Amino acid sequence: MRVSVRRSEIWGRVEAPPSKSYTHRAVVCASMARGETRIISPLTSDDTEATLDVVGNLGVQVRLDSQEWAIRGREMKEPQADLFCRESGTTLRFMTAICSILRGRSRLTAGSSLRRRPIRPLVDALRTLGVDCHCDGEFPPVIVNGGLRGGKTEIRGDISSQFVSAVLLVSCMAEEPVTLRLTTPLESRSYVLMTMDTQRRFGVEVEGSENLSLYRVERQEYVPTEYKVEGDWSSAAFLLAAGAIAGTVEVRNLNPSSLQADRKMLELLEAMGAGVTVRRGVIRVSRADLEPLSTDVSDCPDLFPTLAVLCSLTRGKSVIHGIRRLRLKESDRVDAMTDGLRRAGVAISPQEDEVVIVGGQPKAAVIDPRDDHRIAMAFGLLGLACERVIVEDAECVEKSYPLFWSDLTSLGGRVEVES
């Protein structure tokens, strides 16, 4: 599917989609709880459906409708076939840990892009805890034979916070208490806090040091509950940025006090000069002459594509630091944004851990998002401010925000979809 976006004047109000990260975590915790959990307002997307498929293949009973999922956890069973995680890194990492508490053999596979993303640090940490598991070098597929004994283990904190979250999610099911130490400073720390918050809502307490470098988890039981998923700041960031670029946008269903790191988008938009107001649960962002930005995204890497587009529309030089891990996402996001912005005539200079963008007036371009949902949505935003941007393979937004193109259209975006 190709989508064309032209210079637009936008105005309106839209509902932020439910949080993908919290939906994953709620499904995983519910699957380990004995009894039925009701997940209210979950996100239905390619990634969350991947997690549902895997837990279903492990014997968890799943009943779905558009506004509520009922998850009946029980003692999970050995799968009868490979567990296909699609392109969802969260699914692969969390389910690798889940399989460590099963009896029998599990083999987890992935789509072509996810097969290029590392899993070895998690496998090594689980093996130290007694799990019989291995992977293909650094990458999937992963074979797990269970045996989570517990004890002490360690893992790096600067590759993926999902490795840390995966260990924490299953540690309460180990035979012995688990102590987890990080060997490098934790990046994307908010995602680990979100994991601990979700576990707490299901009755499991994780002890973490103040800097989140050391954790201890005693044996405990997950308790079924009613869990409402809050709005997704990562997806809403695109909508808020659209207001700063091309008009005025109001977004509902966002928690201003959320643990989600991408809540930082409000602070960054204000720093760039956009009009930002928060009133009665509605976030309002209005267009402005955007100012250059200097910021670090190591704790909120998903904002990088959006910020790169915003910086390309300023008059001056912006610097975005903390981009090293972005080379290990659904695509090499640094290279994908560099290529796309250069096609649009934007001066961009990437380094190992920072990128310099000199803003101006982008021109029309045809963009290959490399099957990366956040790259596709970011260049959709660029189209609002220039003659025309065509995004190829635009259906990849279904990974996290299936309604993105229709929501952009509802705000007045000149969006044309070609099958």
pLDDT tens per residue across span 112-142: 999 999 999 999 999 999 999 999 899 999 9
Alpha-carbon gap, residue 326 to 333, rounded angstroms: 5
Task: Pull the structure tokens for residue 191.
Answer: 């995602």
CA distance 250 to 266: 12
pLDDT in tens, 145-171: 999 999 999 999 999 999 999 999 999
SS3 318: strand
Using DSSP, state whether 130 is helix, strand or coil. coil
Kindly provide the residue ranges of all beta strands, DSSP E only, lying in 91-229, ordered along the sequence. 106-109, 133-136, 139-144, 151-155, 178-182, 207-208, 214-217, 226-228
- Residue 280: predicted pLDDT: 83
* More confident call, 281 vs 416: 416
Q: Are 364 and 321 in contact (CB under 8 A)?
A: no
Is pLDDT at 418 greater than 90 in this prediction? no
> Which amino acid, 42?
P
Q: Measured on CA atoms in the order 182, 186, 188, 194, is the torsion positive or negative?
A: positive
Identify the band that residue 74 occupies on the pLDDT scale cut at 50, 70 and 90.
confident
88-107: pLDDT as tens digits: 999 999 999 999 999 999 99
Nearest CA-CA partner of 297 in 223, 234, 206: 234
Q: Across residues 173-180, what is the average pLDDT?
A: 97
pLDDT reading at 419 higher than 90? no
Indicate which residue of 302, 368, 371, 372 is catalytic.
302
Average pLDDT of the segment spanning 373-390: 97
pLDDT digits (tens, 9 = 90+) for 40-69: 999 999 999 999 999 999 999 999 998 999
Q: What letter would DSSP give residue 352?
A: S
Q: How many whole angstroms separate alpha carbon 416 and alpha carbon 344? A: 19
Question: Coil, strand, or helix at residue 194?
Answer: helix
Decide: 384 and 5 in contact? Cβ < 8 Å. yes
Please report which helix (H) or strand (E) contains residue 362, including its range: none
Residue 281 is predicted with a pLDDT of: 82
CA atoms within 13 A on the CB side of 310: 33
pLDDT digits (tens, 9 = 90+) for 314-373: 999 999 999 998 987 888 999 999 999 999 999 999 999 999 999 999 999 999 999 999
- In tens, the pLDDT along 225-262 reads 999 999 999 999 999 999 999 999 999 999 999 999 99
- The Cα–Cα gap between 283 and 290 comes to 19
Domains, the chain, with CATH or none: 2-17+231-418 (3.65.10.10), 20-228 (3.65.10.10)
The strands making up 10-15's β-sheet, listed across from edge to edge, are 10-15, 247-252, 282-286, 275-279
Check residue 237 and give its pLDDT.
98
Respond yes or no: is residue 302 known to be catalytic: yes
Residue 27 structure tokens: 């499904």
